[in-house]
Amino acid sequence: MADVNRGSNPLFLRDEDLREGIELLFFAYRDFTARPDAILADYGFGRAHHRVIYFVGRHPGITVKELLAILKITKQSLARVLRQLVTKGFIEQRQGEQDRRQRLLYLTPKGEELETKLTENQRARIARAYREAGADAVAGYRSVLAGMVDDEDRERLNRPRPAS
C-alpha cells in the first residue's frame, strides 16, 4: 500500500515505471534516427532506404524474401525503395546460384560508403551510451530489448546471416 522504493524492488511494476520504459524507447528512437534522416535527405532518400542499405550491408547476398521478413513491409513498398537504390548504383543484384529465381542483394562500393556514413552516427551514439552505462548495463539493455522482440525474430539477433 505504501509507496515503493524503485531501486530495491523494481519488479513491482508501477504504471510510472512502465511509462518511463515506453518513453525511453520513444525518445531514444526519435533521436537515434534524426541524424541519418538528415543525411538521407541530401540524397533524395528516406529512412526506408537506410533500412535497406543497412540490412543488405549486414547480410550480403540476402534475398528479397529474407529482407521482407526483416522489415515486415509489403514487397511493393520494398520494391519501390530497392529500385531506386539499384538504379542509382548503391545496391546490385545477382541471380541466385542454387535457386535462380532469387535476386541476391549486395552493396556496391558506393553503397558501402553511404552505409558507413549513415550508420556512423548511430554506432557512435550506441558506443557512447554503452561506455557511459558500463558493461552490466549493456547486458541489461540487451536482455530487456531482446525480451520485447517477437519470438520469430529473437533468434535472428546476433547471428551474422539469417537461415537461408
CB crowding 20-31: b at 16 or more within 10 Å, else e: eeeeeeeeeeee
Q: Which stretch binds DNA (CB under 7 A): 1-9, 16-24, 79-87, 131-139?
A: 79-87
Instruction: Compute the least distance from the CB of residue 14 to DNA, in Å.
Output: 28
Residue 59 binding DNA, by CB under 7 A = no
Where along the sequence are the contacts to its own copies (CB under 8 A)? 9-11, 13, 15-32, 34, 51, 54, 58, 72, 119, 122-123, 125-150, 153, 156-158, 160
Q: Which is nearer to DNA, 103 or 125 (CB)?
A: 103
Distance between CA 99 and CA 96 in Å, rounded?
5
Q: Per CB under 7 A, which region of 3-11, 43-51, 112-120, 155-163 contacts DNA?
A: 43-51
- Told to check if 38 binds DNA by CB under 7 A, we report no
* Shortest reach from residue 84's CB to its own copies, in Å: 21
Confirm or reject binding of residue 73 to DNA (CB under 7 A): yes
Asked whether position 30 contacts DNA by CB under 7 A, the answer is no
Backbone angles phi, psi at 151, to 5 degrees: -50, -45
